[in-house]
Chain A
Amino acid sequence: MKDPTLVVAGLLTLSAGTFAFRFAGPVLRKRIAFPPRAERLLQAAAVVLLTALVATTALTKGHDFAGPARPAGVLVGGVLAWRKAPFLVVVLAAAATTAVLRLLGIP
């Protein structure tokens, strides 16, 4: 490992900054009265962020394509979720599909 002092400094910077991000949203929300349309926009913003997170974590690894096995698993999970399958089935089917594809040599 590199200089431990520097690693601690980085670790504390990341911790403090992340906490500040988490603290800021609810505080701002309390201080500002949002009109109904902005409220709607803010709720949609969370769904948009989470969808983008699903897309990027399912399809990419670093800056590249993750390989077909992981997105295939997530797709199976997504179809099951859309068909109102239980949560447990959705998550396990996603992992199992990806695992089976990898077993078959698909990355």
Chain B
Amino acid sequence: MSSIYRTLTGGTLRDIALACLAVWFIGLSYGAIAVTSGFPLWVPAAQSVLVLAGASEFLFIGIVAAGGNPIAAALAGLLVNARHVPYGLALPDKIVTGRGWRRLLGSHVMNDESVAFALAQGDLPRQRAAYWACGLGVVLCWPAGAVLGALIGSAIGNTGAFGLDAMFPAVILALIVPALRDWVTVRAALIGAVIALAATPFLPAGLPVLLALGGLAGLLRPPPRPPGRPPLRPPGRPPRRPLRRAAG
């Protein structure tokens, strides 16, 4: 992991730091919402370390605060987190490797941001470095934000006023735009997004995003292209531009 600094450019590290800062902000609002909903500090603190998956933690707090059964809330949260299975399948082999604690930690730091940063890189060393840098950054920033938010609690006013809720989708969108250059992937992603949006009013949280995988149906037919080409790379164009960098 000491190679992270040598492998990643300053621009990528800065972008990862910004994504982690966004995670920290969202963690603040999570901790504040948890204590103002009547939970003691240890609930958001323990969840932010052990679960480390924001959307499911918000959902758990929301369901239990509304009088729901905590086990049912946990199952709802697990539905939201089921997307980590296809994430792990999509990550190139050799990113979550090793034995013992390293493998356990490598699995635990898998989240939306670390997967998106990894997939936005051009080659395996950078993918691995970006995955670990972002994953470890989130491991620190999410609990730090949640605990601070819980401590200052109601002192945090309406975080919506600062547009913080637009940050998470913007972070992920900025990371996947470079992968959306080839039409086949764009079509699958758009169909998937429409499926997820259409299902959201009717289905429990988490399920719509999983149903989006139906957008892949169009990719099941053999592509009329020579095999063996790396995925996500449009034909006849230079290799996919790696992660956007801050200019200057």
Which A residues lie at the B interface, using CB under 8 A? 1-2, 6-7, 9-15, 17-19, 21-30, 36-37, 39-60, 62-64, 66, 69-70, 73-74, 77-78, 81-82, 84-88, 90-91, 93-100, 102-103
Identify which of B1-9, B39-47, B137-145, B149-157 touches chain A. B39-47
> How would you classify the secondary structure of chain B's contact residues: helix, strand, loop or mixed?
helix
In contact, B56 and A51 (Cβ under 8 angstroms): no
CB proximity of A100 to chain B, nearest CB, Å: 8
Task: Choose among B96, B177, B210, B215 the residue that contacts A82 (Cβ–Cβ < 8 A).
Answer: B177
In contact, B244 and A81 (Cβ under 8 angstroms): yes
In contact, B167 and A95 (Cβ under 8 angstroms): yes
Chain B window 186-221, contacts with chain A (Cβ cutoff 8 Å), 1 for yes, 0 for no: 001110111111001110010011101101100110
Interface residues on B, range: 35 or more
In contact, B169 and A81 (Cβ under 8 angstroms): no
Complex-state Cα separation, A40 to B90, whole angstroms: 9
List 15 other contacts, CB 8 Å, given A44-B219, A87-B14.
A2-B64, A10-B64, A11-B46, A14-B51, A14-B81, A30-B93, A43-B119, A44-B216, A45-B86, A46-B90, A48-B212, A50-B112, A51-B190, A95-B170, A99-B163
Check if B100 is an interface residue, CB within 8 A of chain A. Answer: no
In contact, A39 and B231 (Cβ under 8 angstroms): yes
> How would you classify the secondary structure of chain A's contact residues: helix, strand, loop or mixed?
helix
A81/B38 contact (C-beta < 8 A), A26-B91, A56-B200, A87-B18 known? no
A60/B110 contact (C-beta < 8 A), A13-B75, A95-B163 known? no
CB proximity of A39 to chain B, nearest CB, Å: 7
Task: Choose among A14, A36, A37 the residue that contacts B77 (Cβ–Cβ < 8 A).
Answer: A14
The closest CB in chain B to the CB of A67 belongs to B160
The closest CB in chain B to the CB of A62 belongs to B205
A1/B227 contact (C-beta < 8 A), A45-B86, A56-B196, A98-B163 known? no
Which B residues lie at the A interface, using CB under 8 A? 14-15, 18-19, 22, 38-40, 43, 46-47, 50-53, 55-57, 60, 64, 67, 69-71, 73-75, 77-78, 81-91, 93, 95-97, 104, 106-108, 110, 112, 115-116, 119, 160-177, 179-180, 184-185, 188-190, 192-197, 200-202, 205, 208-210, 212-213, 215-216, 219-220, 222-223, 227-228, 231-232, 243-247
In contact, B43 and A11 (Cβ under 8 angstroms): yes
In contact, A37 and B71 (Cβ under 8 angstroms): no
A1/B40 contact (C-beta < 8 A), A22-B108, A54-B173, A94-B166 known? yes
